[in-house]
Amino acid sequence: MGKAAPSKPPGLFRRIEELQEDVPWGSFLDAGTGTNSIGWVASLLTDRWTAVSGSEAHAIQVRDAAEPVRRPQDRIVVGNWADPKLLVGECYDTVLADYLLGAVEGFAPYFQSRLFTRLRPLVRSRLYVVGLEPYIAVEPVDAPGRLVWEIGRWRDACLLLAGERPYREYPAEWTVAHLEAAGFRIVAAHRYAIRYKERFVNSQIDMCVPRLAALPDRGLAEALAAHGESLRRAALESIAREGCLRHGHDYLLAAEPVRSPAPDR
């Protein structure tokens, strides 16, 4: 993924609720927060929640979204999982890593292989991981897939030229292997086909407009901007015809700690 998560497949949070069955949510950690996940987390019957973001700007959006329902015991924390002091000694009944793994590249590059070991002491009962199968590496053969692939590659090229680090997604198999190595066992795994809509197309292209406007090489910037607009036109025409661009998968993993949990703090 690049800088924005796709529209969440309808029912993904509902699926997490089903997997949780009647077990209380207890204390809840939203380990990579955003307006989507906090909207859901804040609607649950939790004892308390903590929402972590690596970015101050993201945390402000989350604060604004959660403000009407935030209780005194609910916290929003700006920090980096690469920092060993972040939430050190704390433990939560339920932890959510919702599109966190792909975003780590932007905040702590090369830390991905240590992320679940880092989160492990914070998980008392259940960890839910939501991720996006990488869709940039392999050229799709179908036209809708190709459009999503081209938009993703164009977006990442713009971000790199602007001096930023695009997100880097990891396959479900990689995530399962690293969860197991970190001391979790997988209790459920699901894949969801993605249907990209106008919001995805416009958000990805609009996000690059100010970055291109700041590029010193104006010829390059104008050529890239024109290419982005031609991708936008083609993608929106295809969505108008077909209803969406079908391409790739999200995945949901539910995992539990194998060894005994740490005491609550």
Ligand X SMILES: C[S@@+](CC[C@H](N)C(=O)[O-])C[C@H]1O[C@@H](n2cnc3c(N)ncnc32)[C@H](O)[C@@H]1O
User: Which residues of this chain interact with ligand X, rule CB under 6 A?
Assistant: 5, 32-37, 52-55, 58, 79-82, 98-100, 103-104, 107-108
Q: Report d(CA 72, CA 258) in Å as an integer.
A: 33
Helical ranges in the chain per DSSP H: 12-20, 35-41, 56-66, 100-107, 115-119, 143-161, 172-181, 198-213, 218-242
Cβ atoms within 10 A of the Cβ of 109, count? 11
Of all residues in the shown chain, the one whose CB is closest to ligand X is: 34
Task: Give the bridge partners for 76, in sequence order.
Answer: 51
Output 5 or 136, the one with its CB closest to ligand X.
Answer: 5
User: In this structure, what token pair is assigned to residue 116?
Assistant: 């679940």
Q: Smallest distance, Å, CB 200 to ligand X?
A: 13
Cβ atoms within 10 A of the Cβ of 78, count? 17
Q: Smallest distance, Å, CB 210 to ligand X?
A: 19
Output 100 or 245, the one with its CB closest to ligand X.
Answer: 100
Q: Report d(CA 129, CA 16) in Å as an integer.
A: 10
Output 168 or 247, the one with its CB closest to ligand X.
Answer: 168
| Residue at 74: amino acid letter | D
Q: 90: helix, coil or strand? A: coil
Output 39 or 140, the one with its CB closest to ligand X.
Answer: 39
Q: Smallest distance, Å, CB 31 to ligand X?
A: 7
Q: Smallest distance, Å, CB 134 to ligand X?
A: 15
Q: Smallest distance, Å, CB 250 to ligand X?
A: 12
Residue 79, C-beta contacts closer than 8 angstroms, at least 6 positions apart: 52, 54, 86, 87
Q: What does the DSSP 8-state code read for residue 89?
A: T
Q: Smallest distance, Å, CB 39 to ligand X?
A: 7
Output 65 or 148, the one with its CB closest to ligand X.
Answer: 65
Q: Smallest distance, Å, CB 117 to ligand X?
A: 13
Output 103 or 129, the one with its CB closest to ligand X.
Answer: 103
Q: What does the DSSP 8-state code read for residue 42?
A: T
Dihedral class, residue 44 (left if φ above 0, else alpha if ψ from -120 to 50, else beta)? beta
Output 99 or 154, the one with its CB closest to ligand X.
Answer: 99
- Of residues 90, 239, 217, the one with CA closest to residue 151: 239
Q: Smallest distance, Å, CB 211 to ligand X?
A: 18
Separation of first and last alpha carbons in the chain: 34
Output 36 or 50, the one with its CB closest to ligand X.
Answer: 36
